[in-house]
Amino acid sequence: MVLSGRMKAGSVGAVPIDQIQFTGLIGNQRWEEISVNQFMNKLKENGWDEVPNSHIFQRLKERGPRMGVLTPNDFARALRDGQTLPARDGAQKRVCRGGDIEIIFREDRMITLRDP
């Protein structure tokens, strides 16, 4: 089902958040070894994107290492092992690593990464 040109997570074209994968070499490269465009292209291969000005890659690059998320595959594992809960204003949050990481998202777009 297409809404405003976007597909809902879990529909054809967008995998559920707990099934995001980073195939190829990029999956095991550290954040400082890849570019924002490389990361976003792989995210889009999963049918996902980010809202404007959310800077998910930058947040992962800056905060990921202290949360044990050193590579895109670490990020995918954290998402896989997390739990989805309601967030504010109709968004959802994926609570990962025992609450150390929260990814706020709506449909197939990541809004922000929080480390509460």
Per-residue model confidence as pLDDT tens digits over 3-58: 333 444 444 579 999 999 999 999 999 999 999 999 999 999 999 999 999 999 99
What's the number of domains the chain is made of? 1
CA distance 50 to 19: 17
Closest CA to 9 of 108, 109, 94, 97: 108
Per-residue model confidence as pLDDT tens digits over 68-98: 999 999 999 999 999 999 999 999 999 999 9
**Which uninterrupted H or E stretch holds 63?**
helix 56-63
Residue 41 domain boundaries: 2-114
User: C-alpha angle with apex 65: 49 to 32, nearest 5 degrees?
Assistant: 65
Name the pTM for this structure: 0.86
116 against 114, higher pLDDT: 114
Location of structure tokens 């809202």:
51
